[in-house]
A and B are shown apart, each in its own frame.
Chain A
Amino acid sequence: MKIKGRVWVFGDEINTDLIFPHSAFRVSPEEQIKLVFSDNRPGWSSLVEKGDILIAGKNFGTGSSRPGAVLLKRLGLACLVADSINGLFYRNSISYGFPALQCPGVSSMFEEGDTAEIDMLEGTVTNLRTGETRKGSGLSQSMADIIAAGGIEELLIKEGYMDK
């Protein structure tokens, strides 16, 4: 699972309430994605292009069980790489088929607009501008399989637990 794209860089402690604010709780999925980071970076969601990559610092996704990962995926982002990721957010990423990678120090490798090349299984991240590479903890095969299937809902449909 290899991904290459333009990066957006965010800092430490980016919490679920910034990713999936309460204002997005009672609106349609189409409206929800416009509200991503509306409290800390208004207007950002309209700048994201399909295939962009999110780079962040420590404890990305700290907070709630609300599935911020699915909003990042629907916004068009290809993956997330952070110095560290909250365990519940990481599970949500896998469950909703959004590739995520923990790679300590990655947030200091990039300036916004750089191009990153990432191998999700190997766990390697390269900045194609500087040539710097770091290795984080790659996805296990079983987690990569859930992502490749398109997430848990697709698995449940395939196994007959949910109607199409």
Chain B
Amino acid sequence: MGMTMSEKILARHAGMPAVRAGDILTCQVDVAACHDMFFTVAGQIDFEKVNKIADPDKCVVLLDHAVPAPTAKDAHGAVKARAFVKKHGIKNFYDVGNHGVIHQLLVEEGFAAPGRLIAAGDSHTCAAGAMNAAARGFGPAEMMYVWCKGETWYQVSPTILYRLHGKFASQAVTGKDLFLYIAGVYGDATNMNVEFGGEGVGNMTIPQRQSVATMCAEINAEFAIFPCDDVLRDFLKERGDQTIDAVDPDPDAVYHDVRDIDLGKLTPYVALPHYIPKNCCPVTDVEGTEIHQVLVGSCSNGRLEDIALVASIVKGKRVAKNVRFIVTPASQKVYLEALKAGYLETLVEAGAVVTNATCGACYGGHMGLLGPGERCLSTTTRNFKARMGDVDSEVLLCAPATAAASALTGKITDPREFLGG
């Protein structure tokens, strides 16, 4: 019997020839990353009492959720983070100025790479699966364990394979729409891995794959892994990777379920407020819904390609008077590239607010929270009650094109009217 990509990566890191769903293994972890909330939030783990770390070069510390510090507590957390990396000799430290949302930064800086087993103190860590890695989130105590011991336990989960065919029919339809369709139609993947295959993968850009892999946290997936195809190989070569340790699924790998999706039949999709699995619909079902804020950003959709698409839609037009349009790049690098390409100028001319690169309002931290009775259409990751501000606010999730088109009209709008298809 063959193995899935998830099983192969776990087997390799457990030093075993083969593993099967249900096995509990101890695996060596390649990269272990934590962000500022590890250091800022009290009562999670007494990290100041740690006296030895397994391998500082496998540790990454970065500030992304609350940068620059919006409160004195956040500033104190950053002080503790700086002291921690100094004490333990952690060189991979990304402070304010070199910052980016963790899942974007791990890709930009080369930590997320094919075949690796990646741990990070953030639920959207499965995002690195776009790089053909097995990555998952851990809580603060377990991240400390991985930092101290270099390993932790994994239970091998059954895998759902999504076989993708064809290509998106419109520029307006992107990876986020694919994810929202999957979540809406098939619901959760709790206690399962999700893997992608089929020739349609080759028609998806890397940022589109990152968007899908990130969002798999919202269907409770363990790992979410894309194959290493020519598109990814080209990306890695351009990034400067010297070696590529790709993992392919065996042809006779055993899956819990195999589901085929024709990318060409997908349309813009939206997640309705408060939860995602089985709570999504085509944008046409909610067209005309009044909104007060539109947000483009996050580890799901704050990349250069997303910002370029949004800028192309709003170029020469004006954001509707009843809407605040906020664009939050996913990293300093994305910000700079968007600036050089003129996208930020286009956005500001249209009436958008471009913020510093941060997790920002996505997690309810800062720069664009909602008041009572307000509704936000957002490309971010979560639509939970009170996630982005007041308990009586609502968040609907969508892809960047839908967000941009809706910012112009002031109500939820099918972006295909702006881009064709």
Contact = CB atoms under 8 A, between A and B. Distances in A.
A and B are interacting partners: yes
B42 interface: yes
Given A22-B364, A156-B145, A65 B386 contact: no
B367 interface: no
B419 interface: no
A67 B391 contact: no
A66 B142 contact: no
Nearest to B190: A84
A126 interface: no
B49 A163 contact: yes
B71 A32 contact: no
A69 B142 CA distance: 13
Contact of B277 (A28, A59, A70): A59
Contacts of A28: 42-43
B139 A96 contact: yes
Given A27-B42, A66-B41, A84-B190, A13 B391 contact: no
A18 interface: yes
Contact of A88 (B41, B71, B136): B136
Q: How large is the interface on A (under 10, 10 to 19, 20 to 34, 35 or more residues)?
A: 35 or more
B386 A21 contact: yes
Contacts of A22: 363-365, 386-387
Interface-centre pick from B149, B220, B391 (highest chain A CB count, 10 A): B220
B139 A87 contact: no
B141 A153 contact: yes
A40 B275 CA distance: 14
Q: Chain B interface secondary structure, helix, strand, loop or mixed?
A: loop
Contacts of B42: 27-29, 32
Contact of A142 (B43, B123, B153, B365): B153
Interface string B349-375: 000000000000001110000000000
B46 interface: yes
Contacts of A17: 364, 382, 384-387
Contact of A153 (B45, B51, B274, B386): B45
Contacts of B191: 84, 87, 102
Contacts of A140: 24
A139 to B, nearest CB: 11
A62 B148 CA distance: 27
A100 to B, nearest CB: 13
Interface in A17-74: 17-18, 21-22, 24-29, 32, 39-40, 58-59, 62-67, 69-70, 74
A153 B46 contact: yes
B226 interface: no
B40, B42, B73, B74 — most chain A CB neighbours (10 Å): B42
A155 B40 CA distance: 23
A107 B387 CA distance: 25
A66 B42 CA distance: 11
Contact of B43 (A29, A64, A91): A29
Given A29-B43, A64-B123, A87-B191, A92 B384 contact: no
Interface in B101-122: 121-122
B295 to A, nearest CB: 16
14 contacts: A22-B386, A26-B74, A67-B140, A86-B190, A86-B220, A88-B138, A95-B142, A95-B145, A152-B145, A153-B141, A155-B145, A156-B148, A160-B52, A162-B50
7 A-B pairs closest in CB distance: A29-B43, A26-B73, A92-B139, A161-B148, A95-B141, A22-B364, A152-B141
